[in-house]
Structure 1
C-alpha cells in the first residue's frame, strides 16, 4: 500500500510506484471521483487529442482579416 502526506498547503506527492502504475508524468492532471460508498478514486484526467475532434464548429464561410478586425474593435468598444 502506498501512502502520501498532505502538506499545510493541501498538496500531496503521489508515490513513484503509483505514478508508474497509472502512467502519470510531470504535468499530467488527475480527477478525484467520489464513489457511492463515500470513498474517492484518483484517475488520470488525460484524454486523447482525438476526443476533441468536432468540439469547435467550423466557420460557415471564410472570414476576412477586415471582418476579424471589425469584430475585435466592436468587442473592445463594448468593454
Structure 2
C-alpha cells in the first residue's frame, strides 16, 4: 500500500489559552483525524480535477501531462 502525502500548516494562536477539563478519548481523536483527512483528500482531488479539465479546455498539453501525473496519487486503488 502506497503512503499518502500529508502536509500540515501551523499558525500561532493569539487568543486566551484554553484549559481542558479532561483528556479527549483516543477514539474521538482518531475519528476526527480520519474525517479531516478524508475531507482534505476530497477537496484536493476536486481542485486537481478542475485544473485538469480547464487545461484540457484550453489545450495546454504540458500542463495537462503534469497535472495528470499528480492525479495518479489520488487513484492508486
Question: For this structure pair, what is the TM-score category when the shorter chain's length is used for normalisation?
Answer: under 0.3
Give the number of the structure whose residues are more often helix, by fraction: 2
Give the TM-score normalised by structure 2.
Answer: 0.27
Give the number of the structure whose residues are more often strand, by fraction: 1
Give the TM-score normalised by structure 1.
Answer: 0.27
